Amino acid sequence: MEEKSMNIARYVLFSLIGVLIGSVTTFLLMNNMTVLTSINSSVISINDDKFKPVMEAYNTIKNEYYKDIDDGKLIDGMINGLMQATEDPHTSFFDEQATKDFETEINGTYYGIGAQIAQNEDNNVVITRIFGGSPAEKYGLKEGDVFVSVDGESMLGKTPTDVSSILRSSDTKKNTVVVKRGNSEETIEIEKSVVEIPSVNKEVLDGNIGYISINLFSSLTDDQFSDALDELEKEGIKSLIIDLRGNSGGYLSTVTNIISRFVDKKTVIYQIKQKDKTKKYYSLNDSTLNYKVVVLVDDGSASASEIMASALQEQYGAKLVGKTTYGKGTVQEMKDLNNNTMFKFTSEEWLTSKGNSINEVGVAPDYDVDLSEEYYSNPIRENDTQLQKAIELLK
C-alpha cells in the first residue's frame, strides 16, 4: 500500500483464503492516483435491537462455555460470520497471520533474508529458492540447505511458518543460522534487510522470441515487467510470449500500467460496472508496440490476469494459448481493521475492453491446448505443449 494510514486499496485478486464486511469511507488506489470515495451503507448502532441476539450469544459463550475463550477469537468469529452471510466466495476475513502474509505478497517486499522455504519429506524446512541480490545470496545460503537452528533454537521438525516468523522478525537485525548442506553443517550469520520479491522472470528463446512470466501483480510487478521488457528489447526480440498461467491476480493499478506498454491512450483496456453506471478505463501510454504477442493462460489465470489477457486479445491482437481462464469478473477492496486483521469485499464488476462480462465464464483462448501427460511427469520446456504452441505461432 502507498501509506500505512491508507487502510484500503482497490485491487483485483482471486483468493482462496478465508471468508467479513464493510465500512463506510475508504481510500482507493487506482492507476496510481488516490481518491476518496464513500460506500453507500446504513450505519447501525451496537445498541440497535437487531444486535441483541448477537450480544446475548456472545455473553453466553464468554461467561457460560465450559472453557475460556479468547475475546479476539470470538470477535474474529463474529466478523467471519458476517462475511459468510454474503455468500460471496470473494468476500473474506483475514486473521492477523493471513493479513501479514497477504500484505507481504501483494506489496512485493518484506524484511528478512530473501529465501523461499518449504517443508521436505522429513518434515524439516528447506530452502527452495534464493532471491537475487538478497542477504541469503550475499551470505552464502544455497538452495537445498536444511535449517538446523536459528539463533541457537532448533528448527528441526518446525514448520515454514515457524522459521519464517523468526527470520522476518524486526526485533533482530541479524540471525545466526545453522544449515545442513549435504553431509555437513554450515553456520552463517546473516544481516537482514528489506527484500524485493521477484514476480517476473524473463529470457530469450530460440528465434529471438522474448519470454516473460508473471506470477502475481504486486505493487512492484509493473516496474519489474518494464525492466524485463526493456532488457529483452535491447537483446533484439522480434516477438513476445507472456505467461500468465497460475497467476491469480493482484493490483488493478499494476496491470493497468503493464497493459499500457502495449497500446496508446485512445485504447480502452477494461471497464468497471457499478450499480448505476459503467466507466471505461484507457491506456496511460502515448505509443503502441508492433511485434507479435502470445499470452499463455489456464484455469488458474484469474482476475488481473484475465484483464490483461482480454485487453491484449481484444485491443492488441494478441493470441491466447492454453485453457479458458478462471472467470473472476469482480473487483474487491481491502479494509484494515484496528486489531491487525482485514477483510476484502466485492464492490464492483469489471468488463473486458469491449464490454464483455467474463464472471464465472472466463476468457477463452484462441488455441485450446492441453498440457501433455509427459509434462506432468517431467515438467520441462520440451513437454510444455502450450509453450510449444506459442513458439510455433510466433515462428
170-192: pLDDT as tens digits: 889 999 999 999 999 999 999 99
Q: How many domains would you assign to the chain? A: 3
Judge contact between 83 and 15, C-beta under 8 A. Answer: no
Going by their DSSP bridges, the two strands 367-368 and 319-322 should be labelled as parallel
Q: Give the per-residue pLDDT at 277.
A: 93
Query: Is residue 1 assigned to a domain?
Result: no
* CA dist., res. 274 & res. 374, Å (int): 45
Judge contact between 154 and 185, C-beta under 8 A. Answer: no
Q: What are 337-381's pLDDT values in tens digits?
A: 877 888 888 888 999 999 999 999 999 999 999 999 999 889 899
- Residues 21, 95 within the same domain: yes
Query: Is residue 342 assigned to a domain?
Result: no
* Cβ count near 157 (within 10 Å): 11
What's the chain's average pLDDT? 84
Query: Is residue 2 assigned to a domain?
Result: no
- Residues 262, 360 within the same domain: yes
- Residues 37, 77 within the same domain: yes
Of 196, 223, 242, which one is at a domain's C-terminal end? Answer: 196
Q: Which of 313, 317, 316 is nearest to 363 (CA)?
A: 313
Q: Answer whether residue 20 shows pLDDT above 60.
A: no
pLDDT tier at 139 (50, 70, 90 boundaries)? very high
- Residues 85, 116 within the same domain: no
Q: Answer whether residue 142 shows pLDDT above 90.
A: yes
- Residues 128, 183 within the same domain: yes
Q: Answer whether residue 30 shows pLDDT above 70.
A: no
* CA dist., res. 13 & res. 303, Å (int): 6
303, 305, 347, 353: the catalytic one is: 303
Amino acid at 35: V
Which residues are 270's β-sheet partners? 281, 352
- C-alpha torsion 333→336→341→342, nearest 10: -10
- Residues 18, 82 within the same domain: yes
- Residues 53, 135 within the same domain: no
- Residues 187, 245 within the same domain: no
Residue 232 DSSP SS3:
helix
Q: Give the per-residue pLDDT at 312.
A: 98
Which residues are 278's β-sheet partners? 273
Of 163, 196, 229, which one is at a domain's C-terminal end? Answer: 196
Query: Is residue 338 assigned to a domain?
Result: no
Query: 147: domain range?
Result: 109-196
> Torsion-angle region of residue 173: left (phi > 0), alpha (psi -120 to 50) or beta?
alpha
Query: Is residue 5 assigned to a domain?
Result: no
Q: Which of 314, 311, 327 is nearest to 362 (CA)?
A: 327
Task: From residue 318, give the alpha-carbon distance in Å to each of 67, 159, 351, 356.
Answer: 60, 43, 18, 17
Active site residue 314: yes
- Residues 214, 299 within the same domain: yes
Query: What does the block give as the cell for 292?
Result: 507479435
* Cβ count near 306 (within 10 Å): 30
Q: What are 154-173's pLDDT values in tens digits?
A: 999 999 989 988 998 888 99
Of 107, 128, 143, which one is at a domain's C-terminal end? Answer: 107
- Residues 217, 263 within the same domain: yes
Domain of residue 249, CATH code: 3.90.226.10
* CA dist., res. 232 & res. 218, Å (int): 21
Domain of residue 164, CATH code: 2.30.42.10
Q: Give the per-residue pLDDT at 169.
A: 87
Residue 246 DSSP SS3:
coil
328, 335, 344, 389: the catalytic one is: 328
Q: Which of 337, 281, 277, 331 is nearest to 14 (CA)?
A: 331
Q: Answer whether residue 132 shows pLDDT above 70.
A: yes
Active site residue 42: no
- Residues 83, 137 within the same domain: no
pTM of the predicted model, to two decimals?
0.71
- Residues 97, 143 within the same domain: no
Q: Which of 139, 225, 142 is nearest to 174 (CA)?
A: 139
314, 335, 344, 347: the catalytic one is: 314
